[in-house]
Amino acid sequence: MGKSTVSRPNLVAQFAKAGLVLKIRSEPFLNRRMNRDADLIFGLDIRRATGGVSRKEWFEIFPGAEDNVIQVRNVDNDIQQLVLLVSEPERKFTEAVAKYGWRGSATVKPRGKVVSEDAKTWWIERKTPSEKRYFLLGVDERQLFVARLNRPATTVKEAHDSLRNTSLTLAEGKAPGKTVRQGEWFFVWPTEAEKTAITAAVKACRASILKKWPIGAEPGAGGKPRVAGNPHTADELIRMPGTPLEHGFPVRTTETYVRGSVRHRDHATVKFGDWRKVLRNNEAGTPSSLGGGSWID
């Protein structure tokens, strides 16, 4: 099976209906030297160009093999978002993962077989999923985004619903105020019991408040955070043991709370005068889910 020569003009037109710019690539995202099947594998990415105070963004798709299925399932013109279906056979490829990221901090070594590495990069063996993949993509706040869904969706609304996980629903049931979202992270008001537990843990030195800390990052060498990509960074962050439910089991082994400003280069800064519980959305997959494209939240 050779490289797809189809320009997919219908895809370009459907993206345009949502007010989105799509460009079809003639060259694969994947490195041909490291990937025998680079010309067969679907790829999706967001590209940016800046000039002065202006910034342009657009989506790029490399269709890959002619038998790859790429379909727009639903478009919401009002919020400039759409649901994309992708289906292709399972194929092996390698993903380049940088060893150093945010402010030169070491990144976490990814799971998977390391087929090659140098001082700056791991090359990890991956496989394209053989099952159908669904993505929600479009405009979010002030930039473009891509999110892989954990279940099929035929409408943009269904896609939004699928990104709300059970833990978020449980937390919101006890929350006294409005939930705030920034990218893939939700910030929920903690209960009075949770706030009391944080105060007691800090006073007893059972938990430490981390300053200017990336959400989701673990401590690495020298106490620096180990992260990948462009993290959401909080002025103050603390981790606490998970809160048990009525059956006695915690929702998670630890809970994360933030306070102050939370910043990310592609999202508006959010500010909290008191602690907020942090919960991630129900996004599925890893950077390799996009078949060689960059992971964009």
If 0-12 CB within 10 Å is exposed, 13-18 middle and 19+ buried, where does residue 127 land?
exposed
Q: How far apart are CA 9 and CA 134, in angstroms?
A: 20
> What pLDDT, on a 0 to 100 scale, did the predictor assign at position 107?
75
Confidence (pTM): 0.66
What CA dihedral angle connects 151, 153, 156 and 161, to 10 degrees? -40
Q: How far apart are CA 257 and CA 245, in angstroms?
A: 18
Q: How far apart are CA 202 and CA 147, in angstroms?
A: 36
Q: 268: Cβ–Cβ under 8 A, 6 or more apart, which residues?
A: 141, 142, 182
8 A C-beta contact, residue 269 and residue 187? no
Q: What is the mean pLDDT of each run of 10 residues along the chain (297 residues)?
A: 53 94 93 90 90 82 93 94 95 87 72 89 90 92 83 92 69 69 86 89 90 86 72 92 57 82 88 91 56 41
Which phi and psi angles does 167 have, rounded to 5°? -60, -40
The domain ranges of the chain are 9-87+130-157, 92-127, 166-280
